[in-house]
Amino acid sequence: MKITEKINKLKKEKNAVILAHNYQLPEIQDIADFVGDSLGLSIEAARTDAEVIVFCGVHFMAETAKILSPQKMVLLPDKNAGCPMADMIDPEGLKALQAKHPEAVTMCYVNTSAAVKARCDYCCTSANAVKMAQKILLNHQEIIFVPDKYLSQYVSAQLEHDFITWNGYCPIHAEILPENIMREKSLHPDAKVIVHPECKPIITDFADIVASTEGMSKYIQNATEREFIIGTEIGIIHRLKKENPDKIFYPATQTAFCPNMKRINLEKVLQSLENLSYEITLPPDIMEMARLSIERMLQTS
């Protein structure tokens, strides 16, 4: 039996669903029941009737799914699939920053651990960060926005409001350089440049469109243009090609490759279903405290 058949058979036996992030390997996206960004995957995790969720993404995303579906078993097929950006902040560091700004409310990017989310008032994704901040600003002046300094600079420029920030960033998106974009633009002058807000401001300032991965997918499906230079993790290109067989995609750079996202492969998904590994567990108080900020994130989608 082929490995994909084994996975599908076990999936039925265990009443499991496979969720895959947009940055996962093509074969993982192809076997998944749902492919999306962390916001879409969280919504799907909360909505599914399955008893087991095999979460093909990184650790903080699986934690978010667990918080939204505490009664379900959430599995991460590789226990070392983490996010270096999420690891750049811990609850103690955030607590110290909050102590310096007692009047401020705290918004965290979804790329944070559950323990950090438990100390936050709001959580956002790259798809709704501008909207969330705009809403919060109706009632509050001071916002601590952690941990991504580039996302916070991007939102700050959109809203003309300064945030209290943290020195975190995505090492993959930060490595997308102006010369990469310039090179692709000189080879494909008609291509639209579409980049992620985790990129440095010098990249987001230059781009035609700044969007989350779901934003990119939506924009491109509705676009009349045919060619696109993609400034985000290259895993998304598989999905974009499937959705738009008549359009052409050029990665800004092939080095925009997140090794953590690529840790999961078909063998590990099969093992995960066979052994029900690696189960995500969280202390009940952390889940309870983190849930509020995540529910606010879901309300602003």
The site partner of 24 among ligand CIZ, ligand SF4, none (C-beta below 5 to 8 Å per kind) is none
The residue from 128, 156, 165, 212 that contacts ligand CIZ (CB under 6 A) is 212
CA quadruple 54, 55, 58, 62: dihedral positive or negative? Answer: negative
The site partner of 74 among ligand SF4, ligand CIZ, none (C-beta below 5 to 8 Å per kind) is none
The residue from 42, 125, 128, 272 that contacts ligand CIZ (CB under 6 A) is 125
**Is 73:39 a contact under the CB 8 Å cutoff?**
no
3-state SS string for the chain = CCHHHHHHHHHHHCCEEEEEECCCCHHHHHHCCEEECHHHHHHHHHHCCCCEEEEECCHHHHHHHHHHCCCCEEECCCCCCCCCCHHHCCHHHHHHHHHHCCCCEEEEECCCCHHHHCCCCEEECCCCHHHHHHHHHCCCCCEEEECEHHHHHHHHHHHCCCCEECCECCCCHHHCCHHHHHHHHHHCCCCEEEECCCCCHHHHHHCCEECCHHHHHHHHHHCCCCEEEEECCCCHHHHHHHHCCCCEEEECCCCCCCCCHHHCCHHHHHHHHHHCCCECCCCHHHHHHHHHHHHHHHHCC
Please tell me the distance from the alpha carbon of residue 235 to that of residue 77, in angstroms, as a whole number.
18
The site partner of 217 among ligand SF4, ligand CIZ, none (C-beta below 5 to 8 Å per kind) is none
CB of 198: closest distance to ligand SF4 in angstroms? 6
Nearer to ligand SF4, 111 or 128 (CB): 111
Q: Is 173 in the site for ligand CIZ (CB under 6 A)?
A: no
CB of 36: closest distance to ligand CIZ in angstroms? 8
- Measured in whole angstroms, the distance separating CA 194 from the mean position of its chain's CA atoms is 17
How big is the site for ligand CIZ, counted in residues (CB under 6 A)? Answer: 12
Q: Is 253 in the site for ligand CIZ (CB under 6 A)?
A: no
CB of 211: closest distance to ligand CIZ in angstroms? 8
Quick one: tokens of 169? Answer: 């960033």
CB of 46: closest distance to ligand CIZ in angstroms? 15
Residues that bind ligand SF4 (CB under 6 A): 58, 83-85, 111, 170-173, 233, 258, 260-261
Nearer to ligand SF4, 39 or 258 (CB): 258
CB of 103: closest distance to ligand CIZ in angstroms? 29
The region of 70-78, 141-149, 173-181, 209-217 touching ligand CIZ under the rule CB under 6 A is 209-217
The region of 70-78, 100-108, 141-149, 207-215 touching ligand CIZ under the rule CB under 6 A is 207-215
CB of 12: closest distance to ligand CIZ in angstroms? 27
The site partner of 84 among ligand CIZ, ligand SF4, none (C-beta below 5 to 8 Å per kind) is ligand SF4
The residue from 19, 20, 76, 110 that contacts ligand CIZ (CB under 6 A) is 110
Tell how strand 105-109 and strand 192-195 pair up. Answer: unpaired
Chain positions contacting ligand CIZ, by CB under 6 A? 21-22, 37-38, 110-111, 125-126, 196, 212-214
